[in-house]
Amino acid sequence: MIVPVHIRYHELEELCYYDEWEKGVICDDYNAEHEVDVDDVEFDYIDLEDIVGEYTGDIIEILLSDYKEKLLSALKNQKNKVTQK
């Protein structure tokens, strides 16, 4: 899943310091919650497979309760395509 997140630099400045011995920057763990708009989330195909695999029953219930006509129409069209071949 790909989610764009903006982290303010001052938050990182509080967690990081320059270590003379290591000659580099060391940071403590960063723990924060970020609000993300659903439209900004992009799923990889494998993410979608995992979601469908885990929530198949819930997805079917939603399709049957909210999208029954569209679902039946799509199934009918698919059946017609198969029988025409």
Could you state, in order of their start, the residue ranges of all structural domains in the chain? 1-40, 43-85
d(CA 6, CA 21): 31
d(CA 25, CA 48): 37
**41, 1 in Cβ contact below 8 A?**
yes
Displacement of CA 12 from its chain's centroid (Å): 25
Question: Is the per-residue pLDDT at 53 higher than 70?
Answer: yes
d(CA 66, CA 45): 24
Q: What 3-state class would DSSP assign to 42?
A: strand
Question: Is the per-residue pLDDT at 1 higher than 70?
Answer: no
Question: Is the per-residue pLDDT at 55 higher than 80?
Answer: yes
pLDDT in tens, 7-25: 777 877 888 888 888 889 8
d(CA 59, CA 43): 17
